[in-house]
A and B are shown apart, each in its own frame.
Chain A
Amino acid sequence: MNNEEKEFVAASEESLHERIDDDHEDKTTKDVVDIDVSEEEKHYRIHPLLKRRPELIGSDVLLSVRHLKQFFFFGSKINNMKLKAVSNVSFDVYKGECFGIVGESGCGKTTTGRSIIKLYDITSGSVYYRGYRISAGSRWNKKEIKWKTIRWKQKVKELKADEKARIEAIPQDDPNREAKVAEIKNEIKLEIERGDIALKQIVDTQRAKIRQINFDNKHTPKRLMSEIQMIFQDPVDSLDPRMTVEDIIQEGLKIQGFKDKKENHKKVVEMLEKVGLVEEHSSRYPHEFSGGQRQRIGIARALVMNPKLLICDEPISALDVSIRAQVINLLNDLKEEMGLTIMFIAHDLSVVKYFCDRIAVMYFGKLVELTTSDELFKYPLHPYTKSLLSAIPKPNPLTEKERVRMVYKPNEVHDYSTDKPELHEIYPGHFVYCNEKEKEEYIEYVKTHVK
């Protein structure tokens, strides 16, 4: 990280810690047990105590990511460091849409995708799928307990000092001195007691939350999880070289408990044909295939689980030019055929624009802009988005030679010293990471430019 980026991160850091805990307030989960268990829950075998957001169940929101944080800790005990790969990212993915995430390498877009399917234990925040929490992290809650306790201890010290000062302030020859001292002592004592109770409440609620998070992570419904599948970036590294194509594709089915070999083989062949391969390929090994075909195997492996949400992590950036279009078209066809919702992670903006309905732009672990793809390209608001868009090379020699690339320098453009930035909705459906002052500027800009 260079200095500019460090400043960008540091400037926006504090607002993160002060954020409101909007995990939807505990409708004390125990009540849910008495309610009729719906068909859906029976189908997915969802534990009745699993945390859920009732307003999302059955709604259009398929995936909801709330305050996702993913830190990586490394270094020795003395010199321990943490890398904030993703910090405080929230977004919703709607049913049937194609949601794109773009950004430079190292901005945390891949980590976001991997955190969602629980390849990492997330540090903090929650991920809801169909309204049920599938993954959560408790770091924030632990920190909350720690800091609140420390602050309260400081407060107690201050109060004690205050008490002493006030007692000393009473003149020695005051006839009512003892009564006054007792009064002050009583007052302070009461205050401390009150504070202790408040702190205890906070600690108890946070502890309950941590318990719930641990419980949820333990009891994630497998059937629900198998509806989210991922296609990986590198078609060479993501396939086990010692397994045949059939084994690779079947692996997920076996894990999910489909033991009927004939049935599984039928499913594999069906999937192979869907992605443009033939039955003979099923007994071969990955090294016998070209890059494009391997990526098709990766797609078949994901699709055989009959997913509803497909996370594509740069599925075409390792492929040759002439093969890319084939894979894009294939994904497009499958999306319509199987009614998939796709989360598309890439750094190639023209591909993302072509493929996605809504696009989120990430910069060093933060979501800086989120809107529909047409709008993002027409009216980019955040300066980083503008610089990204200005860097796309277009296959047109006439305009390309005159293209001016904009440079994004966070500490020159933003002044976050007093007012901390947050993700604000500038107008319906268009979110930008900015502070209040910038928000007004953006609104002004939108009023004059957007019709």
Chain B
Amino acid sequence: MAEKILEVKNLVISFKTDHGILHAVRDVSFDLEKGETLCIVGESGSGKSVTNKAIMGILASNAIVEGGQIIYRGEDLLQVAEEEFHKIRGHRIGMIFQDPLSSLNPIMRIGKQITEATLVNGDKLKRMFEDIISDDLIAYKNAVARGELKAEKVIQAAEAANIDALNKNSAENADKKGVKAECKARLKAAKKEAAEIRKVTKAETEPLRLKLEETKKAAKVKVAEYKAKVLADYKKEVASANGDKEAIAAAKKKKTDNLRITKMEAKRRALEIMKEVGIPEPEKRFRQYPFEFSGGMRQRIVIAIALTETPEILICDEPTTALDVTIQGQILELIKRLKKDRDMSVIFITHDLGVVANMADRVAVMYAGKIVEYGTSRDIFFEPKHPYTWALLASIPDVDSKERLDAIPGTPPNMIYPPKGDAFAPRSKYAMEVDFLEEPPFFKVSDTHYAATWLLHPDAPQVEMPKIVSERIKNNLAEQGEKGGSENE
């Protein structure tokens, strides 16, 4: 079995909104193996984007991570401090967003946007200094952040309890003033407790802070030494060049290369990457603005920006939804090729099953903040087990037939009031009584294939998948058979 590169365990994320707590992700677990493509399929609002934003550490400020772990290289990304995340975000995990127009800055030239990251990280002295102090800095910041997190959690818990109490109050029309006073008192107590926690943290982290100061001093000395050495080397070389202009130029270049990445160097790298992602005439394009590009080209630029560093994991959040079929094909081919060339793992979010079939090694189907079924793409497309997967497969118009579509009745649930039991039960015609009462666990279908539906319970009645799906699967398999046959001939 391949190496697991990323592991998401029991992730729970909620959002504070004006209407109450929105439960966006409810207990999601999956893992990503090295070199594979994992497709996450689901409707809008099923929590697929939120999960991936959590991996990137770019959740909105009203998000609450209520539990779970995202383990990358033995580290829990949810516990990592912002300082340390700078080293991961973009460098190790890259992301491509859905709308290529709104993810580019409209008043900045393309070239500047691509080289921005390279130049920001280009000061080698600064990088060196940061590298030396990073361990201590991270230890210190982590300790502080953990304390802060604890304090915040206390306040958040109090706020959540208040919202619940107020909602309850309005429903029962009980004594309003009393409840409000109670809420105020609760919040005050929580704030006091938080202050206490902060004090304790400060005391605890004091030795770490002192250590950090010391390392900083040492680091400054080291960096100064390095700089002096580089300059001394340069002077020596200039002296030994005896007025040879070429030698002096070479020495100068060596000096700047040792100290920082110049704009020229950054541009050279950017042009290389632009060529790699298939942008014709990169020199000319380098100086243009985003509005001068077509949708497909813009998406290529976004991919190029993600690739200026060498990420191990590339998260693609519906990169082709805003594009036409032909351009979509081009972008999918590009992502596939880059994945192969650069040996990346890809998490691909989409709601188009055709794209899934094209890209995926494994598929996770999400509904209402949960993964309802996951397996290899063969498992999902040829032996689907969950009624939602059946419904998805049945509801896409087929090129080969004109029979009536099996539409999914109703709309996705409002996640402020997540349904009890199986979230899909109200829209499913296979729902049983137990579906409305209890949440189904994952049932194992095969080693790679799991589905969360009570239909797989040994006591459940035997249910066949809808006819339209089984026929399509038969047709698809037959198509493959024909193709294989003709190849053999």
Contact = CB atoms under 8 A, between A and B. Distances in A.
Contacts of A408: 326
Interface string A376-388: 0100000000011
A396 B381 contact: yes
Contacts of A401: 357-358
Nearest to B408: A322
A353 B399 contact: yes
Given A321-B351, A322-B43, A395 B396 contact: yes
- Interface hub of B325, B378, B392 (most chain A Cβ within 10 A): B325
Interface string A327-364: 01100100000000000000111110111000000000
- Interface hub of A325, A351, A388, A401 (most chain B Cβ within 10 A): A325
A243 interface: no
- Interface hub of B333, B355, B394, B397 (most chain A Cβ within 10 A): B397
Contacts of A157: none
A393 B330 CA distance: 12
Given A326-B409, A393-B332, 11 more contacts: A321-B43, A348-B325, A354-B397, A393-B357, A393-B358, A394-B399, A395-B356, A397-B357, A397-B358, A400-B358, A405-B330
A405 B337 CA distance: 14
Contacts of B477: 398
A320 B44 contact: yes
A320 B351 contact: yes
B480 A391 contact: no
A387 B326 contact: yes
Contact of A322 (B330, B356, B357, B391): B391
B327 interface: yes
B325 A392 contact: yes
Range of interface residues on A (Cβ < 8 Å) = 35 or more
Contacts of B392: 321-322
A398 B476 contact: yes
Interface string A183-206: 000000000000000000000000
Given A322-B412, A324-B395, A105 B295 contact: yes
Contacts of B395: 321-322, 324-325
Contacts of B360: 397
Interface in B306-361: 324-330, 332-333, 351-358, 360
A396 B295 contact: no
Contacts of B479: 396, 398-399
B398 A354 contact: yes
Contacts of A323: 408, 411
A391 B406 contact: no
B393 interface: yes
Contact of A349 (B357, B399, B402): B399
Nearest to B484: A398
Given A322-B392, A328-B405, A397 B377 contact: yes
Contacts of B324: 104-105, 347
Nearest to A384: B326
Contacts of A397: 356-358, 360, 377-378, 381
Contact of A405 (B44, B333, B397): B333
A388 B480 contact: no
A328 B393 CA distance: 15
B284 interface: no
20 contacts: A321-B351, A322-B43, A322-B395, A323-B408, A325-B395, A325-B408, A326-B407, A348-B325, A353-B399, A354-B397, A354-B402, A391-B326, A393-B357, A395-B476, A396-B480, A397-B357, A397-B358, A399-B479, A400-B357, A403-B358
A408 B324 CA distance: 14
A394 B406 CA distance: 18
B89 to A, nearest CB: 30
Contacts of B217: none
Given A105-B324, A292-B411, A322-B408, A350 B357 contact: no
Interface in B391-450: 391-399, 402, 404-409, 411-412
Contacts of A328: 397, 405, 407
Interface string A286-329: 00001011000000000000000000000000001111111011
Closest 7 CB pairs of A and B: A393-B354, A354-B397, A325-B407, A325-B395, A400-B357, A395-B353, A396-B476
- Interface hub of A328, A332, A377, A393 (most chain B Cβ within 10 A): A393
B354 A399 contact: no
Interface in A88-108: 104-105
B400 to A, nearest CB: 9
A329 B44 CA distance: 21
B398 A350 contact: yes
A347 B404 contact: no
- Interface hub of A326, A400, A403, A405 (most chain B Cβ within 10 A): A400
Contacts of A395: 353-354, 356-357, 381, 393, 396, 472, 476
Q: Is the interface of B mostly helix, strand, loop or mixed?
A: helix
A332 B404 CA distance: 9
Interface in B437-489: 472, 476-477, 479-480, 483
Contact of B396 (A292, A321, A355, A405): A321
A391 B358 contact: no
A297 B326 CA distance: 32
Contacts of B409: 326
Given A105-B295, A398-B477, A325 B353 contact: no
Contacts of B399: 349-350, 353-354, 377, 392, 394
A21 to B, nearest CB: 35
B463 to A, nearest CB: 20
Interface string B171-182: 000000000000
A330 to B, nearest CB: 9
Contacts of A347: 324-325
A329 B406 CA distance: 9
Contact of A392 (B333, B354, B483): B354
B273 to A, nearest CB: 21
A323 B44 CA distance: 11
A408 B329 CA distance: 13
Interface string A399-426: 1111101001000000000000000000
B397 A351 contact: yes
A18 B418 CA distance: 66
B183 to A, nearest CB: 29
B406 A396 contact: no
B408 A326 contact: yes
Nearest to A328: B405
Contacts of B351: 320-321
Interface in A25-41: none
- Interface hub of A105, A351, A402 (most chain B Cβ within 10 A): A105
Contacts of A320: 43-44, 351, 412
A394 B328 CA distance: 13
B280 to A, nearest CB: 8
A399 B325 contact: no
A322 B424 CA distance: 12
Contacts of B325: 104, 347-349, 388, 391-393
A396 B357 contact: yes
A407 to B, nearest CB: 8
A355 B329 CA distance: 23
A400 B326 contact: no
B398 A399 contact: no
Contacts of B472: 395
Contacts of A324: 395-396
- Interface hub of A322, A348, A350, A399 (most chain B Cβ within 10 A): A322
A323 B377 CA distance: 24
Contacts of A403: 358
Nearest to B388: A322
A149 B285 CA distance: 44
A350 B404 contact: no
Nearest to B332: A393
B288 to A, nearest CB: 13
A325 B398 contact: no
Contact of B397 (A326, A350, A391): A350
